[in-house]
Chain A
């Protein structure tokens, strides 16, 4: 995939800078304030997830590839993986649990695991694949605002 490629250590301290960088680029490609904020959230949650569940070992890296074209952004985040933790399955479990929480009105405990659920609601397409080599989260976010493009790919 062409576009922006980044690799960062699996360290939470890098995330605020990375999420702000991609959000700013999105804004320059015509995503409005609200959409750029959503993109910041999307990058944040996917990277947090990748570090928390995917990269426990020292010196592991998180790879990000981000491509803007026409009215959409495609983002792929890959971690090198904890092979025993299937993000895809956990995501499905969390969705079911959240639905139960809402139907009961109050959770017994404030479960974490809402990150990818938030991402799912903010994107047009979400694809999660866990393999022996790690997890890849791929999203597509369309630009719905009418703001003119400040840059072209």
Chain B
């Protein structure tokens, strides 16, 4: 498995049944080149939404730059009493998050249903 493309696509969707909540479907690579592009989409939402769930089922690759941004989003949302959750990380990505020490800081769920159940309405 190699990741040569310089692409990141983020689709933003509402989460039915939740106010001020967005689902971010992240597709592609979150590395030093693409993190800035992703940040332009995600950062404004961090400031106005109450709940953000990052769906990483189609996230192929992430390095420490991408991870640092996700941690920043998580911390900013927590400071505003919001929720930032991640779902669908593949085994290899989860391993990278784990060894960086971030698995203990971030809220990661296997599925979207699991993440939504953990959110206090």
Q: Which residues of A contact B (CB under 8 A)?
A: 12-13, 15-17, 19-20, 23-24, 27, 33-34, 36-38, 40-41, 44-45, 48, 98, 101-102, 105-112, 114-115, 117-118, 121-122
Contact A98 B101 (CB under 8 A): yes
Interface-centre pick from B2, B4, B67, B92 (highest chain A CB count, 10 A): B2
Does B100 interact with chain A (Cβ within 8 Å)? Answer: yes
Contact B64 A112 (CB under 8 A): yes
The distance in angstroms between the C-alpha atoms of A44 and B69, with both chains bound, is 17
Cβ of B31: which chain A residues have Cβ within 8 Å of it? 15-16, 44
Contact B71 A107 (CB under 8 A): yes
Q: How far is the CB of B59 from chain A (nearest CB, A)?
A: 13
Cβ of B5: which chain A residues have Cβ within 8 Å of it? 16
30 residue pairs from A and B, CB less than 8 Å apart: A12-B32, A15-B32, A16-B6, A16-B29, A20-B2, A20-B3, A27-B2, A33-B1, A34-B92, A36-B1, A37-B61, A40-B1, A40-B2, A44-B31, A44-B32, A48-B63, A98-B100, A102-B101, A105-B105, A106-B105, A107-B71, A107-B75, A109-B72, A111-B68, A112-B68, A114-B68, A114-B100, A115-B64, A117-B101, A118-B96
Partner of B64, one of A16, A24, A38, A118: A118
The distance in angstroms between the C-alpha atoms of A107 and B64, with both chains bound, is 16
The number of A-B residue pairs with CB atoms under 8 Å apart is 96
Cβ of A15: which chain B residues have Cβ within 8 Å of it? 31-33
Q: Which residues of B contact A (CB under 8 A)?
A: 1-6, 29, 31-33, 61, 63-65, 67-69, 71-72, 74-75, 78, 91-92, 95-96, 99-102, 104-105
The distance in angstroms between the C-alpha atoms of A15 and B6, with both chains bound, is 10
Using A16-B29, A40-B61 as known contacts, say yes or no to A118 and B100 having CB atoms under 8 A apart: yes
Contact A107 B105 (CB under 8 A): yes
Q: How far is the CB of B37 from chain A (nearest CB, A)?
A: 13
Partner of A112, one of B65, B75, B99, B104: B65
Q: How far is the CB of B107 from chain A (nearest CB, A)?
A: 11
Contact A101 B2 (CB under 8 A): no
Residue of A whose beta carbon sits closest to that of B72: A110
Cβ of A24: which chain B residues have Cβ within 8 Å of it? 2
Contact B71 A16 (CB under 8 A): no
Cβ of B75: which chain A residues have Cβ within 8 Å of it? 106-110
Cβ of A12: which chain B residues have Cβ within 8 Å of it? 32-33
Nearest first, the 3 A-B pairs at minimum CB distance are A110-B71, A20-B2, A121-B99
Cβ of A117: which chain B residues have Cβ within 8 Å of it? 99-101
